[in-house]
Structure 1
Amino acid sequence: MGTMTAYLILEGDFLPALFAWIGVNVSRTFCIILVAVVAIPLVLPEKLSVLRHVTPISTAALIFTAICTLIEAPGRAEILPEDLPVNLASFGWPLLKCLTITLFAYICHTNVVPVANELVDPTPKRCFQVSFRVATLQLGFYVLIGVSGYLSFLGTTHQNYITNYSHDDVLINLCRLSLALALMCSIPINTNPTARAAVHFISSMKEMTSRGQPLLGRRDRLPSALRSESRGEKVLRISISLALLVVTLTIAILVPGIADVVSLLGGSLGTLLLVTCPCIIFAKVMKDEASRLSGKLVIWTLVIITIVALFAVCVMITNAMGVTHVPLAVD
């Protein structure tokens, strides 16, 4: 849900500039609602395989944006005021927000679980190879885009640096268009596993609470990739998907700051899914590995990250309430 909210906020940043490029003035709210309406038929299918022909758009958009940002960086840097400093590194309170944003950057890609279900032979080795290669590729592009984007605007960089560029920049408008299309495809990719997980959770809870019914009865516990959903599950999945769209649409309209949303969600839900749960599973399931020195190092690292991230969330909340005034933004 947090990922979808972030996507809709970004669409609200990109689309008004694209409409302005062709001489049409529309509001951010209108663009977000338009995207949500267009996304409705895309979130209805049960399987992600129906989107296999459009998912390469996301990768292509990321590559294209990185290249365009890198091309524009030298020219943008030349016209910056000379008194703007270049901060090669920043330490202090802003690192808290940076940590939570980093967590969100990787928890954002929840489609790795359904992708594993789509693999012909999803062995642990193959799943690890796919996950590692994707994460490494993402890191490379994140660094390239982040560094070149910052050097283009330095201290004047917006939360979404694409909004720093003018509406008549042809190259950047092509980036906006490609990113808008990529995000449109990403909405169902993230909605699908969320809705299916909710359906499976509800079905399992019903089976566990039903009296006189064995837990392995009706559904025979087939893997989700091999079992077709019932009519009731289909209705429930579609209802949950539409409810997710409505909730995320509302949040995206009310909260325009992408970095604020990303950092808060990354420090809370992102930490839980990316750090805390894996730490617990590792300690409980892989006891032999966890008892070794390397395993203990992994566990304590994840514990420390969890504590720091949750502390960052508390600081963000108290800042928003006016209780504290900790400077989390980079000057």
Structure 2
Amino acid sequence: MPSVNYAAISQTDHDVEVTAPGTSSGRRRRRNSKVHHGEATWTSSVINLLNTIVGAGVLAMPHAMSQFGMLLGVVVILFSAFASGFGLYLQARCSKYVERGTASFFALSQLTYPNAAILFDAAIAIKCFGVAISYLIVIGDLMPQVIEGFDSRLAEFDFMLDRHFWITAFMLVVIPLSFLRRLDSLKYTSFIALVSIGYLIILVVSHFLIGDTMADRGPIRVVQPAGLIQALSTFPVIVFAYTCHQNMFSILNEASDNSHSSSLSVIFGSIGSAASIYVLVAVTGYLSFGDHIGGNIIAQYLPSWTSTIGRSAIVILVMFSYPLQVHPCRASIDNVLKWRPRKVHSPSIPGRREEMSDFKFAVVSTGIIVGTYAVAMTVNSLETVLAYVGSTGSTAISFILPGIFYWKISSPESDNRHLLKDHDDEDDEELLLQGETRNQKLLRKGALGLTCYGVLVMITCLTLNVFYHAKH
């Protein structure tokens, strides 16, 4: 499940020298700034981004495939990987327009659509709020089975099998962690995340190879989908499963090498690995249960010590990941509350954001915690939550924002193009003076296409989810 890595952002001092347009040197900006040096290696960047991608979404992947059919399901998973990876690539391109180590959605919104920043922060807040809810639902679904797996005698106590009890109990653990201003101590859970996901993959594949679920397996549809409405209402689950874009700027800020080639290889490494995991789990999980598959595959295995360990690992993973969603959600809500319309002629230069007061910090944090707890106590369908989150926040962060940011910031009519700093091409500045290159034109068209695709996915899937889940 998506986790958050917080980059140490360097402060920069700017001396700007502007020469008149039309001169031989064009319009240039010089900066005397403190140089930001990242420390993250390529391997750590891939691991962090992969940990952000793969999480609770993998539990619902077999159910999503059951709605599409196996053949179309594999195509949709791979296509979603491509679309998500393209969004990450656009973010990497956008980061070249701001100072090294300061890339963020907030910074880009100030250079492109400063008066729409409230919408961008709202999308991030919705996304993180929904992810936090899905974590609590996973805990409520799995803990009763964990208890039965460890000692069946504990099942004699009704409250031990009550999902509401376990959600409430684990809230007592995550609440103190959610009130920490700095979550550096939780970064070590990345290793636990990899172990948990790795064990889950082994568990799903092993049950498929053993064949101990075949007795209760439903029909298998290789080509024929369950139906247009069912498939489209499940599609946001796959979109959600690839959402890691809220952390991409942090990855770029922390990377020791954020060149074009290095950033592209990080994206390929993380998205490619995630797509492989999703296809493997979706195919083997669906073949294990057929159309009888539910929204949380690990909850369907019969009690055993192997499945109990797997469920325990997932519970630990989401328990420590919950505070990592509260932090960006809180920051985005704070930005929404502080937002004021920018005057037309006022400069749109990213400013230094003030830290929240203790009172506001406590109120916003409490609101997020109480809100996620209330929804998790009343909604017990993981696929429903993932579908709504994927339709709204995930779609906006993955497709709409990266596309619209790059389309705007790279416009040949915009002064922002003179801020471009791409050290991979020494002649890049001269190319800018000559106008758009062919690659830039294609990339801008692709960015606009990604934005339109995101809007279409959001409207279609959100509408279908509202009517489909209302009938069920």
Provide the TM-score with structure 1 as the length reference: 0.81
Residue 109 to residue 181, structure 1, CA distance change in 2 (3 Å): farther
**For this pair of structures, how many residues does the alignment match?**
308
1:157 aligns with 2:293: yes
1:107 aligns with 2:243: yes
SS at match of 1:16: helix
Residue 7 to residue 282, structure 1, CA distance change in 2 (3 Å): same
- After TM superposition, the structure 1 = structure 2 runs for residues 1-331 of structure 1, keeping only pairs within 5 Å, are 1-21=129-149, 22=151, 23-24=153-154, 25-76=160-211, 79-80=214-215, 84-91=218-225, 92-93=227-228, 94-107=230-243, 110-116=246-252, 118-119=254-255, 128-166=264-302, 168-203=303-338, 205=339, 221-222=351-352, 230=355, 232-287=356-411, 288=436, 292-322=441-471
Residue 296 to residue 42, structure 1, CA distance change in 2 (3 Å): same
SS at match of 2:215: coil
The structural deviation recorded for 1:285 is: 1.0
Aligned counterparts of 2:215 and 2:462: Cα–Cα separation in 1 = 34
Aligned counterparts of 1:170 and 1:14: Cα–Cα separation in 2 = 14
Residue 294 to residue 116, structure 1, CA distance change in 2 (3 Å): closer
The structural deviation recorded for 1:71 is: 1.0
The structural deviation recorded for 1:153 is: 0.8
Residue 17 to residue 81, structure 1, CA distance change in 2 (3 Å): closer
Provide the TM-score with structure 2 as the length reference: 0.58
The structural deviation recorded for 1:65 is: 0.4
SS at match of 2:313: helix
SS at match of 2:275: helix
The structural deviation recorded for 1:107 is: 2.3
Aligned counterparts of 1:300 and 1:256: Cα–Cα separation in 2 = 36
Aligned counterparts of 1:34 and 1:290: Cα–Cα separation in 2 = 54
Once the two structures are superposed, residues 28-78 of structure 1 have per-residue CA deviations (whole angstroms, 9 ceiling, x without a partner) of 011111122210121222233221222211121111100111111122367
Aligned counterparts of 1:245 and 1:114: Cα–Cα separation in 2 = 24
Q: 8 Å contact 2:132–2:326 — kept in the other structure?
A: yes
Q: 8 Å contact 1:58–1:186 — kept in the other structure?
A: no
SS at match of 2:357: helix
Larger radius of gyration: 2
Gaps of 5+ in 1: 326-331
Residue 79 to residue 104, structure 1, CA distance change in 2 (3 Å): closer
Question: C-alpha root-mean-square deviation of aligned residues, in Å?
Answer: 3.1
Output the amino acid matched with 2:198: I
Residue 245 to residue 157, structure 1, CA distance change in 2 (3 Å): same
Aligned counterparts of 1:72 and 1:292: Cα–Cα separation in 2 = 49
